[in-house]
Amino acid sequence: MNLDLSSISNREKRMLLMLFGVILMVLSYVAVFRPQMDKASEISAQNETLDSRLDELLDMAAKKEYYQRETQNMQDEIDKYCEQFPADIKEEDGIVLAQNIENPILIDKYLQGTELEVDAICDGEDILIPGIMEHIERAGVHSGDSIAVYPAWNLSDRMTQIIIESSKNLAIELRTKGLVNIQYLIYKDELYVIEVNPRSSRTIPYISKVTGVPMVDLATRAMLGEKLKDMGYGTGLYRKSPYIAVKVPVFSFEKLINVDNHLGPEMKSTGEVLGVAGTLEEALYKGLIGAGYKMKKKGGVFITVRNSDKAEIGEIAKKYYDLGFRIYATEGTADVLKKYGIDAVSVKKIHESKTNNTLTLIESGKIQYVISTSAKGRIPSRDSVKIRRKTVERNIPCLTSLDTANALADCLKSHYSQHSTELIDINHMREEKLMLKFTKMQGIGNDYIYCSTFDQEISNPEALAVRLSDRHFGIG
């Protein structure tokens, strides 16, 4: 565009020049200060970002401090809680924490109650329980290392019904079709579920043989769509067998170097045997014999138990003492036994004497049974572990559970022997108890029972004589 200035007065020219000057000043201001304004705006935005990041860091630091404080409090609580447990649990905890594992540690509390086991068959709608088994050892010993007894002998009708209903509900809710294994615990007359395994278990062959229920066959048919009510064995709890059956674990510690044979939550058995008889004592005797116990009825019993077991060891030791065994014990245990009228021989610990201690006692051949419970871990250098390993070397039964020791004492007290136990054909077992006719004759001080064999057959009079002569004045 061309601008003709000849027609413009001087005054207008001056005004126009002033206008151009203002425009130039504005343009100069924009050119000079705009980048600085943008930069200031950018700095302000960065400051806001830094402030936000700083707040985040402070928040994270506060949270970290909180978590560290809570973690320490939790660790203190765990340490305080674990003080009541044996050292083997603390040892295991130390092994886990030493690996810097960030995963949480699951702590199981073992209630000192009666452990039960159920093997059942479910078709998705109903359930068949051939039998309920009860463990002799309290909870805390792995089910594979426990002595299991069928049928359970400490169950009330009310608790039996609760177990049946609970087993059915668990199996159906898990949508099980086939076999299911459930482990229960009764503590203070309340039923707890330890675990549910929708699979077969090691007790399936054992319970199948005793009850006559072909569990694998029925479970297979249930998996293929058949209903239990159509298989001929009914539903719910199957009728009780006339026999008592005992599953006893078998161990192979003699083949494992420096392995502590103290029983606990970890399974250590490598097999099991089955004892079947008309009474619990006879069935347990058969099972223990099958598991390798010599069942010697004279000699010595060495006892050393942790402090938490000393309240119960007196009554158990009294049974061995009354059977005629000589009782040996470490000093602390011996002091407890003397309160029960047991004249126990005090034995020095390994570090207290090199020539006359617990190990030399076991090596002397005077000991037939050892009762040893430990609170000092599984480290091979421990005295308690050395004692138990020495029993393995000398082939001496070592009982690490007071319940097992008590059951063994009752079995020895029953006076069964290999010559007075009934021989049972596992393939031709009775479906109901055998009824025998007898005549009771009263004598001087004793009662006599006369069983005529002219009109009835008694397959094993020796076992019958032991069972009926519970006071053991005479067996014949």
Instruction: Tell me the pLDDT tens digit for each residue of 430-444.
Output: 888 888 888 877 766
375: pLDDT strictly greater than 80: no
Length of the chain: 476
Distance CA 302, CA 370 (A): 5
**Mean pLDDT, residues 287-295 taken together:** 91
Distance CA 141, CA 264 (A): 4
Which of 243-247, 272-276, 335-339, 347-351 is predicted with the least confidence, judged by mean pLDDT?
347-351
pLDDT: which is higher, 442 or 12: 442
**Mean pLDDT, residues 249-263 taken together:** 84
Question: What b-and-e string marks burial along 333-355, b requiring 16 or more CB atoms within 10 Å of the CB?
Answer: bbebbeeeebebeebbbbeeeee
**Mean pLDDT, residues 307-331 taken together:** 93
Average pLDDT over all residues of the chain:
82
Which of 1-5, 174-178, 268-272, 320-324 is predicted with the least confidence, judged by mean pLDDT?
1-5
Q: Would you state the pLDDT for residue 350?
A: 84
Q: Would you state the pLDDT for residue 424?
A: 85
Ramachandran sector of residue 292 (left: φ over 0; alpha: ψ -120 to 50; beta: rest): left
**Mean pLDDT, residues 355-365 taken together:** 89
80: pLDDT strictly greater than 70: no
Which of 36-40, 110-114, 278-282, 368-372 is predicted with the least confidence, judged by mean pLDDT?
36-40
- Alpha-carbon torsion 129, 134, 139, 142, what sign? negative
Q: How many helices, marked H, and strands, marked E, lie in the chain?
A: 12, 15
Neighbours of 197 (CB within 10 A): 13
Q: Would you state the pLDDT for residue 325?
A: 95
Rounded to 5 degrees, φ, ψ at 361 are -65, -45
Packing angle, helices 402-413 and 310-322, rounded to 10? 20
Which of 29-43, 303-317, 326-340 is predicted with the least confidence, judged by mean pLDDT?
29-43
Q: Would you state the pLDDT for residue 123?
A: 93
Q: Would you state the pLDDT for residue 475?
A: 46
Helix/strand/coil for 54: helix
**Mean pLDDT, residues 42-57 taken together:** 64
**Percent share of the chain, pLDDT over 70:** 74
Q: How crowded is the C-beta side of 285, counted as CA atoms within 13 Å?
A: 26
422: pLDDT strictly greater than 90: no
Distance CA 355, CA 351 (A): 10
CA distances from 155 to 86, 148, 194 (A): 31, 14, 17
31: pLDDT strictly greater than 60: no
DSSP state of 143: G
**Cβ(278)–Cβ(382) under 8 Å?**
no
